[in-house]
Chain A
């Protein structure tokens, strides 16, 4: 009889093991826990709210933290005829200052550093920011 008992034991365990291995059992468990006992997240954790919020935050960061790209209006100014000159006046601290630079006809400007170049320098002990925009060719 002991032999039979062992055999029954083996057959029974095999049968139960097959049942317990069915994917439907795992799926039912998962669904049951999710439906009844999963912690309800605050509404702002839901993807439908979270994703647009993060997108909006990203846009705000781009607008306020990073410099804005040059607008089309600026581009139009620099897209003028090739007769660009340095014959200009700088307005610094509400004063008009003669640059003292003789007029030079510039026929072509190219850039090795990209479409814009920004740097600061002292002009008559006044720090100024110089922005170069190269709307045409960029090498």
Chain B
């Protein structure tokens, strides 16, 4: 099954790039740079490695584009290469990262948490920056795999099916990871809120 069914809008540029047209590939880079960077940043949670991974992805794809047969869309292929490259980079940065925490048994132990609306009111407008920092730290505590799913769903707004196909996972696994990531984020934010009472 191919993501985003229908004709591949990048076909013309891909064919030109396959015949050695560097400028045509430059147009593809121009079109998808933000998408690749956002996904890399989402996984790595750091700007500089994300920039390096983004460049690695495009250089890798440029050198491999001759092998691209068009069975899936170029964008889908690019997503896959990006996620794999970003996860590899994350493992090199933090080799001990594990997905064990995604086990259903563990998920069940995570108690439901309720967050308050962080919209800035007259009293706590100044706490907005603190909340941003909290969220940043909370995302940093997730595994790269969870961050990948979270970014694809929350930022790229991909369907569960699209995420499953891109990551080569079962749809249930995608839903489970997403559920866990959201719950974990809410829990971390709540804990931090409790720790810094009144900052929300």
Residues on A close to B: CB < 8 A? Answer: 1, 3-5, 7-9, 11-16, 18-20, 22, 24-25, 28-29, 32-33, 36-39
Contact = CB atoms under 8 A, between A and B. Distances in A.
Given A28-B54, A32-B58, 18 more contacts: A1-B183, A4-B115, A7-B115, A7-B117, A9-B154, A11-B135, A12-B135, A12-B155, A13-B154, A14-B132, A15-B136, A25-B37, A29-B34, A33-B29, A33-B33, A37-B25, A37-B29, A38-B26
A19 B47 contact: yes
B22 interface: yes
A47 B85 CA distance: 39
Contacts of B55: 32
11 contacts: A4-B114, A12-B155, A13-B154, A15-B139, A16-B154, A25-B37, A29-B34, A32-B55, A32-B58, A36-B62, A37-B62
A33 B31 CA distance: 11
B82 interface: no
Tell me whether chain B's interface is mostly helix, strand or loop, or mixed: helix
Contacts of B29: 29, 32-33, 36-37
B95 interface: no
Nearest to A39: B23
A80 B199 CA distance: 96
Contacts of B89: none
Which 3 A/B pairs are nearest by Cβ-Cβ distance? A37-B26, A39-B23, A29-B33
B182 A8 contact: yes
Contacts of A24: 47
Interface string B110-154: 001111011000000000000110011001000000000011001
A25 B58 CA distance: 15
A20 B135 CA distance: 16
Contact of B131 (A8, A11, A22, A36): A11
A94 B34 CA distance: 81
Contacts of A19: 38, 41, 47
A39 B47 contact: no
A15 B135 contact: yes
B38 A37 contact: no
B20 to A, nearest CB: 12
Nearest to B24: A37
B91 interface: no
B30 interface: yes
Nearest to A15: B135
Contacts of B154: 8-9, 12-13, 16
Nearest to A37: B26
A72 B45 CA distance: 76
